Amino acid sequence: MLHRFEPVHVWEGHGIRRVISDVERAAEWLLERWPPAFKDTPAQLAARMACLDAWEGKVAAGHARTAFVVAAREAGILVPEEIAVRPTRELSAQRWK
């Protein structure tokens, strides 16, 4: 069972964004895909614990989302809101203008 929350957009690579919309995917990112320079920071550790607590039903999935957003912002991988809401195709078209 997935523990869903409002989508969070993160940068996976140069110009590539991914949508994280559940606790399980957030935990995967925190454990396996996180930028090495920001692993084990207090924000990243708090997000990992929040994901575990949400997965175990101790806290709401939204709590894990909030912690994930804080850690992603710190790591510089959080996609700004004004970009996150635009379709990928629109972003690609703007690059070629």
Tally of domains within the chain: 1
Q: What is the mean pLDDT of residues 29-36?
A: 96
**Other CB atoms within 10 Å distance of the CB of residue 28:** 14
pLDDT, tens digit (0-9, with 9 covering 90-100), for 15-28: 899 999 999 999 99
Q: What is the mean pLDDT of residues 32-49?
A: 97
Q: What tens digit of pLDDT does each residue of 46-55 get?
A: 999 999 999 9
Rg of the chain's alpha carbons, rounded to an integer? 14
Determine the pLDDT at residue 93: 46
Packing angle, helices 61-75 and 42-55, rounded to 10: 160
Range of the domain at 10: 4-95
CB 34 within 8 A of CB 82: no
Q: Residue 88's pLDDT band (boundaries 50, 70, 90)? A: low
